[in-house]
Structure 1
């Protein structure tokens, strides 16, 4: 599967690439509910490893051909 995010980069909620997952408020809700992609705290800032974002996106993949009818 193609990678959307650079595995070696740390992304922040305000980065334009993060819009793939939703807006900043949605990311904050996911963190509060402990759902969504893994994140790190850097002081008061929140960051996301690119590899964690790619893993999260891969886990959300649905293959319609494997769904029960």
Structure 2
């Protein structure tokens, strides 16, 4: 599977690239409920490693051909 996010970069919730996952508010809700991609705290800021974002997206993959009928 192709990587969407640069694995060597740290993304912040306000970065436009993260809109693929949802709004800033949605990301905050996920963090509050321990859902969504792994994140890091940098002081008071929140960051996401690109590799963690790619891993999260890969884990969300659904293959309809493997679904039970």
Please classify the TM superposition score into its range, dividing by the shorter chain length.
over 0.9
TM alignment of 1:44-55, pairs within 5 A: 44-55=44-55
| Cross-structure match for 1:64 | 64
Match of 2:23 in 1: 23
TM-score (norm 1): 0.99
Structure 2 Cα separation of the partners of residues 36 and 14 of structure 1: 16
Instruction: Give the unaligned 5+ runs of structure 2.
Output: none
CA drift at 1:12: 0.1
Q: CA deviation at 1:35?
A: 0.6
Residue 31 of structure 1: CA displacement? 0.2
State TM-score, norm by structure 2: 0.99
RMSD: 0.2
CA distance in 2, matches of 1:20, 1:3: 13
Paired residue total? 69
